[in-house]
Amino acid sequence: MSWALVSYATEAEYRAHFEATYCQGPVPTFDGYNVRFRKADFDHCFFESSLRNRVKDTFSLPRAERINWIAETLADASAQLKAGWDRDSRRYRKDRRVALVKGNYVVIIALKGGKLADFVTAYVMDTPESLKKLKALPRGSRPLKLVR
């Protein structure tokens, strides 16, 4: 696997890369799920909340540089698969898969019927407290989105 960072000069170049790489058809996981990506996923995945108020208003270069890590993570059979906590519903949801690789990189997918899944988000978990909580969660093949 190649975990190289991607470097472009503009947000538009990262967006074009995302659409060409992920939005042309499903991306397979190591265990046979076909993950679908929408063009709108770019905004959710590559923007952050500058005020940590859940309003994603700032393009995130650290997220964008890891754009290829999404496919790498989905293909990585050694990824730690975790259950997660949905802070809105205050419960575990079995329709989410949280994959943790490289110590603190997270990719979240929503499992659908059969072997279909939808991409939710990906990011570097940069707060030690959140990472500690994630690592303490139960393992599982059908875990849930961890909401920061």
Average pLDDT, the chain: 88
Residue among 105, 83, 99, 86 at smallest CA distance from 31:
99
| pLDDT, tens digit (0-9, with 9 covering 90-100), for 115-133 | 999 999 999 998 888 888 8
Q: If you average pLDDT over residues 14-29, what whole number do you get?
A: 98
Q: Where are the domains of the chain?
A: 11-136
Instruction: Determine the Cα–Cα distance for residues 26 and 66; give it in Å rounded to an integer.
Output: 19
- Rounded Cα–Cα distance for residues 138 and 57 (Å): 32
Instruction: Supply the pTM of this predicted model.
Output: 0.86
Residue-wise pLDDT for 83-127, tens only, equals 756 778 887 777 888 999 998 999 999 999 889 999 999 999 988
How much of the chain, in percent, has pLDDT values that exceed 70? 91
